[in-house]
Amino acid sequence: MTDLINPNAIPTDNASWQPDPEHPRRRPPWIKVRAPSGETYERVFELMRNKHLNTVCEEAQCPNLGECWGRGTATFLMMGDTCTRSCGFCDIKTGRPSPLDWAEPNRVAESVKALNLRHVVITSVNRDERKDGGAPIFAMVIKRIREVQPGCSIEVLIPDFKGNAEALKIVMDAQPEIPES
């Protein structure tokens, strides 16, 4: 008698599948990620390239990028693709960032309109080289999205601004919101 496991006998429902280190099995079907593709994915991809925008999806190498972009959603990453911090949980590159692009809020807002988003998530890299941490960029993008896509709710995932209360006030005065679910 052998210790081999019949791969056809492995349960496919997520709740009953349990790893067994002594008897390695095939990966469960829910762990597989499909290669990004499809018309909507291509549209989001082209839009990000044409508008010279970053997304946390790409920069943090999220494995769900194809699924989200395939549904026409993305999390916009403001203030470049280089962070001034090296956090252990993030895969965004660290280093000296490029100067801020003050036209970026307009390009993000235009993309929100092009995708006809009803809800948008905006985040950023840390910009510790700036006293304000880049807070004015958040305020600008909130204002611009409201102008070009009325009714779109705006969720911001802001940095800690190194505890600068004035920087936080700049963002809060622009009145982002997170809708109730």
Q: How large is the C-alpha radius of gyration of the chain?
A: 21
| pLDDT per residue as tens digits for the range 114-172 | 999 888 999 999 999 999 999 999 999 999 999 999 999 999 999 999 999 999 999 99
Phi then psi dihedrals of residue 175, to 5 deg: 60, 60
Provide, rounded to the nearest whole percent, the portion of the chain with pLDDT above 90.
Answer: 52
| pLDDT per residue as tens digits for the range 104-113 | 999 999 999 9
pLDDT band at 11 (very low <50, low <70, confident <90, very high): low
Neighbours of 71 (CB within 10 A): 12
pTM of the model: 0.76
**Bridge partners, 83 (sequence order):** 94
Residue 97 makes CB contacts below 8 A (sequence gap 6+) with 79, 80, 82, 83, 84, 125, 127, 129
* Rounded-to-integer distance, Cα 80 and Cα 29, Å: 36
